[in-house]
Amino acid sequence: MANRIRELGYGECQTLLGLGIIGRAAVMTPDGPHIVPVNYWTVRESVIMRTTPYSVLGRYANDAVIAFEVDSLDAARNSGWSVVARGRAEAVTDAKELSDLCEEITSEPWAPGARSMYLRLAYAELSGRSLSAHVLTTGEVDGRR
């Protein structure tokens, strides 16, 4: 069967974004674009990343428009999907909001060291595509294969 590429709807993108653990944040630096692999969490239509204030994300993503991508590939089935979120990122500094995030985010970043800066990407755009040699079922989109 021929591969089929299909645009994903907003709800499908949200569901798939919520399944991931590792994604890539793309930010513009004075030296050009930079892509950083990060752990992430989805909270209330936002992507949350923990970083340090002195990292590439900490220095250049705060109060800037960035892109974030997460995807999954099944090479054996010649299928996969990719979701891109785009919008303005901002450091979460409100004490109450930080406390709420700490309650919702129960896992730690994989990168070593203290990651005290919570960076929120409240996405203004969410898009995605699936590549499939077969039609995805609702169970596959929901992660229940």
Map out the domains of the chain as residue ranges: 4-134
Phi, psi of 27 (to 5 degrees): -135, 150
Q: What is the mean pLDDT of residues 116-126?
A: 88
| Single pTM value for the model | 0.80
Helix (H) / strand (E) element for 129: namely strand 117-132
**Average pLDDT of every residue of the chain:** 83
How far apart are alpha carbons 12 and 136 in whole angstroms? 11
Helix (H) / strand (E) element for 10: namely helix 10-19
Q: Are 22 and 16 within 8 A, CB to CB?
A: no
4-134 carries CATH number 2.30.110.10 = yes
pLDDT band of residue 9 (cuts 50, 70, 90) is very high
Q: Which of 31-35, 37-41, 86-90, 106-110 has the lowest mean pLDDT?
A: 106-110
Q: What is the mean pLDDT of residues 120-128?
A: 93
pLDDT band of residue 83 (cuts 50, 70, 90) is very high
pLDDT band of residue 145 (cuts 50, 70, 90) is very low
Q: Are 48 and 118 within 8 A, CB to CB?
A: yes
Dihedral sign (CA 120, 122, 38, 143)? positive
The residue count of the chain comes to: 145
CB atoms within 10 A of CB 5: 8
pLDDT score for 66 = 96
